[in-house]
Structure formats: structure tokens, C-alpha cells
Amino acid sequence: MRLSGARVAGVWTLEPASLDGDPRNWLILRKSGRSVERPDYRPMLASATAEPPRGEGWLHEVKFDGFRAIVTISGGVARLTSRNGNDLTARFTEIAQAVGRAAKSPDCVLDGEICALDEAGRPGCGAARGC
């Protein structure tokens, strides 16, 4: 919310604090009132190797057959963008709406894979709508 006044001028947000486990506790946080230019996010893409890296600090994910996408949520509304910058929101409306509702923050950026699973639980473009 944007407040005006000698001591409170600026952009503020309410965040659930759940202090001591009580869901009625909230924090009011002052945000920067400046307009922030959004960076151009690019998805992290898989790369082929003979075997996965080992050691502390490495995480791995399964390579699904689908659409790699950046999800930008602003004000609780999600927009899906392909790795080439194409808007995928209209193509995957249900996913955009579900991610917008499920995110714990009304403003965030997510990187993920949009894929469909067949009846056996295997990912595949044949199961995805619009492949």
C-alpha cells in the first residue's frame, strides 16, 4: 500500500509474522518508494555431462520434457515467459492462475518446467496440451 504523510510517506506491505504460532500477528514493512527496474531473468537450463557433478553444494533436478519458463508474479498475478522471451501465459492460463494463488509472496520470480505427466507418471510432450 502507498501511504502519504510526514512520517509514513512511502510504500508499505503487510507480511504475516505468525509470531509464537499466532496467525493474527502481522508485520508492516516499509518498502523503497523508488521505482525499481525489473531485471531480465533467464531460466537455468540443463547441460549434458557424462555424469553429474559430485560434492557438497551441488543440487540436481530431473530433466522433464516440457517448456522451461520464468514465472513473474506481480501483485499476485502470474505471467509465464519462455526461455526465448515469448509470453506463455495465454497458452497455460490454468497454470498461471494456480501459481499466482499458490505463491507465498505476491511479488516474486520463479524458474521452472511446465510439463504434463501421462497416466504412468512419466513426463512427455505428448501428454502436454499444445506441444
DSSP-assigned letters across all residues of 14-65: EEE--GGG-TT-EEEEEEP-SPPPPP----------SS---STT-------S
Residue 32 binned pLDDT confidence (cut-offs 50, 70, 90): low
- CATH assignment of 67-127? 3.30.470.30
- In the chain, pLDDT over 90 holds for what percent of residues? 22
Domain residue spans of the chain: 2-31, 67-127
pLDDT at 30 over 50: yes
What's the pLDDT score for residue 19? 66
- Check residues 38 and 105 and name the one with the higher pLDDT: 105
With CA atoms as reference, report the closest residue to 76 among 57, 103, 50.
103
Non-local CB neighbours of 96 within 8 Å, separated by 6+ positions: 71, 78, 79, 80, 89
Q: Which whole number is the average pLDDT over 67-85?
A: 91
Residue 36 binned pLDDT confidence (cut-offs 50, 70, 90): very low
